[in-house]
Chains A and B, each alone.
Chain A
């Protein structure tokens, strides 16, 4: 025990992971999800919980819940809170902790809006369709606008776990889960707490959001073959696939974990974060900010780049992301990059949850020495020059550290460096 360092190369408290949880289209818990991911299965299928008539994209990596009924899906806020609770319950059980948790709650989640069923209910009680009539109607229907309570899922979950302070409802788009891990890590390093909950949940797969993403031409529209639609790094990639899901981590200082006899599952070695000033939806084509976050995360870990034997890519399956990300990986690692897979090929792009889910995937890969594959690789883009771990999971030995990349619409880039057994 006395050999284990309590602080890192900069004298900061080491931040370790003692609990993990996950909900994806491949399973309602970590074990099922991991089994599906390492078997190379796709969780992408036709959407059935609402009517997709007339939509350009009619499929996703759906997690339907008992509360979903055809035509009456759960509102997004309830889905976020439910998925989040499933993932955090699992993580806390593994950590052997129960509420109250004496630390912050850092939670990546999407903005929650008043959705059309609630909007229509307000309209039905209103004297007209204009803003004044609708607002007066809503004033009498607090239950309907509760859906517009922007961070209510974070509040619900913070109360469930008795965390301290204001729940941090983080939105940096597709980087939110990574940002949440970063915020929690910083709080532990600052000594604000000895334990923190970090994660994210996503439920943006609603009719209007699906239409909005489609209008941006961001989504795959391979409606005839949904399971083959998420094909990161392939020549025929045509956009991302939306996914529901949640990921959760219990973070503690090494000292706190050892003192209570917890099993250390892995470590947050470092984090990097940079804003891209180039464009709202496109990474800078020189890949400098994307390479920069990876370099920053590696530098923050204090380890040489060659220790990192796996990259879980952002890998959205959009033409541009995958090209820029591959370029950035080569800028950091040179000609021969570490094996790099995009698990979004199987569970879709879970947006606000992706950073948390994929951090957990990295830790599982390191624990089991089994790198999850990128599926749908009939036509891997040779120009990217990446070992994408095609089709099948790959057994490895001696891989102790991994990087998890997350890049958001709006230019918010995050990279988390994770380790097991270091």
Chain B
């Protein structure tokens, strides 16, 4: 029943790979001007086109490119390339990415169009302006689809929608399926890009403006670009194929925060880290769907045992990670 973490695919402002995400305390890498007044944690410079065939590259938007690359890192890190045919996949995703140039062009004009004519005007402009394949770059389940196509991951494939809670719930279900033996090997994670106005627009009321501050000293989010994928498998099966477990994932719990009081209180616990804890979001920025998978991965790397997380609107999560000793 013991579930091992045998591979990590991590990308954030801290860099790429295990080592970049092992150093504590990590100095935050910030971009305070590119999307001012909203500070963000930018992605470490990556040449994704070196990792993704050109034909595929064109059919994806940024989060899919980032996510497929991180998924590939995790598969390689686990040495699990021979198992992709039976590998199950769980992805947490947001709403995809839009053609922000087209949006801005239409928004610059739309108020000059009489309200009664706007529907037909938009139909024409969208029909002329949208790139057909953009839809596929945008659909939430197409990160999973792209991972299957690029890395030949051919087991079951599920995508959960919904911010931080989706990432945590994906990890919980992935863990449960490996633990009960219905999945031989599981790839689970998410990717999110902060450096896009369409993504920032979606979270506008919850974003920190102007100066960056540590999570303990602010009430709002500082988003970050990043991706986190984990490979999970049963410890005995991992050892039998000669894999080297990084850590054991003992338990993942998720639940909704009771919200009977109505409006979420962003000054409450979600953004307050207990003393002595590693505040992952201080280092990587807030990675939305990828936030909890990243936190669990970094806890494993740091030898920490308990991981907690919260959604900015919904959900609280906890995981227990244990050091693996051969």
Q: Restricting to B237-294, which residues have a CB under 8 Å from any CB of A?
A: 254-256, 259
Contacts of A114 in B (CB 8 A): 201-202
In Å, the complex CA distance between A213 and B287 comes to 30
Contacts of A129 in B (CB 8 A): 104, 107-108
Partner of A166, one of B36, B123, B139, B255: B255
Shortest C-beta distance, A217 to chain B (Å), equals 8
Contacts of B166 in A (CB 8 A): 150-151, 166, 169
Do the beta carbons of A138 and B160 come within 8 Å of each other?
A: no
Do the beta carbons of B197 and A134 come within 8 Å of each other?
A: yes
Shortest C-beta distance, A60 to chain B (Å), equals 15
B side interface size, CB within 8 A: 79
Q: Given A113-B95, A183-B173, A274-B154 in contact, is the A409-B136 Cβ separation under 8 Å? A: yes
Partner of B122, one of A116, A171, A182, A215: A116
Partner of A151, one of B89, B141, B157, B161: B161
Can you name the residue of chain B whose Cβ is closest to the Cβ of A50? B119
Do the beta carbons of B149 and A279 come within 8 Å of each other?
A: yes
Do the beta carbons of B173 and A275 come within 8 Å of each other?
A: no
Do the beta carbons of A216 and B135 come within 8 Å of each other?
A: yes
Do the beta carbons of B142 and A145 come within 8 Å of each other?
A: no
Can you name the residue of chain B whose Cβ is closest to the Cβ of A174? B141
B59 sits at the interface (CB 8 A): yes
B236 sits at the interface (CB 8 A): no
Do the beta carbons of B152 and A274 come within 8 Å of each other?
A: no
Do the beta carbons of B159 and A135 come within 8 Å of each other?
A: no
Q: Restricting to A100-114, which residues have a CB under 8 Å from any CB of B?
A: 109, 111-114
Contacts of A164 in B (CB 8 A): 255
Can you name the residue of chain A whose Cβ is closest to the Cβ of B263? A142
Which segment, of A18-26, A51-59, A229-237, faces chain B? A51-59
Do the beta carbons of A154 and B197 come within 8 Å of each other?
A: no
In Å, the complex CA distance between A126 and B124 comes to 24
Contacts of B160 in A (CB 8 A): 168-171
In Å, the complex CA distance between A325 and B89 comes to 24
10 contacts between A and B (CB under 8 A): A129-B107, A132-B197, A139-B204, A145-B204, A171-B159, A171-B160, A212-B130, A274-B156, A277-B153, A410-B141
With A111-B96, A155-B314, A207-B122 already in contact, 16 other A-B pairs whose C-beta atoms are closer than 8 Å: A51-B120, A53-B124, A122-B201, A131-B104, A138-B204, A148-B95, A150-B94, A155-B162, A172-B157, A183-B158, A276-B148, A277-B152, A280-B59, A281-B136, A410-B148, A411-B149
Residues of B within 8 A of A (CB): 35-38, 59, 89, 93-96, 98, 100, 103-104, 107-108, 110-111, 118-120, 122-124, 126-127, 130, 132, 134-136, 139-142, 144-146, 148-149, 152-163, 165-166, 168-169, 172-173, 176-177, 180, 182, 197-198, 200-205, 207, 209, 254-256, 259, 313-315
